[in-house]
Structure 1
Amino acid sequence: MTNPIYTTQEIQERVDRYIGQFKEGYFSPLSLMARLTEETGELAREVNHYYGEKPKKETEKEKTMEEELGDIIFVLTCFANSLDIDLSDAFHTAITKIETRDKNRWTKKDPST
């Protein structure tokens, strides 16, 4: 079975429905930043195990980079929702800036290949 494909709006709505069931609601921005940092560290650890010089110990739980990226997306979505930020708008602003600022930064591929 394939997983559904979500738009950023659908992701934000699903996370909001989940968080909305709890009296505590969203954590504070400072707590969410700490959680995002923690999850990013877990992704870094996985990258180091797979691509770096530090293999996992035999006793360490098997995790995947996909799982860690999913955790980051969840926490980032919580962060955006808690601050009433539309992730689609935020992405549009970022990609427009990057496409403008960095358009000649790297060597472009030959379009004929």
Structure 2
Amino acid sequence: MIIIIPLCILIGLLAWRLRPHKHETRSSRIAIFATILPSAVMAIAAVAFQLRYNASGVISVAEASNSIFVAGLIFIGVGILVSICFALFRKKDITKSIGFGLCISFFITVVELGLLEWLGGV
């Protein structure tokens, strides 16, 4: 937890720097949406599996929710690699949009981690 708070502050500053402007293109909006959507879907699925696991009367972290959480982290890693590829092709607006989407995905992942730990009783 000591590392998460400064990391969240750093990601917040980075998101402020990469925020979309009024003159953004359609491809920028699609890049933001395509970056945020997989993390959000994985977070919802992991919390749903954990809630279903808790409904059975067992208070611990479910293996299924752990696996889905790791899959969400893999999506963030793939987003970083895609952002690097677009940066190499000098697509500045798409690269900034993917970076902004990755910042939002990181916040979603941190909230998901907190919820899973709380629901798991850890």
Same fold (TM over 0.5): no
Q: Which TM bucket (shorter chain)?
A: 0.3 to 0.5
Larger fraction in helix = 2
Report the TM-score, using the length of structure 2 for normalisation.
Answer: 0.37
Higher relative contact order (CA 8 A, sep 6+): 2
Which protein is bigger by CA-based radius of gyration? 1
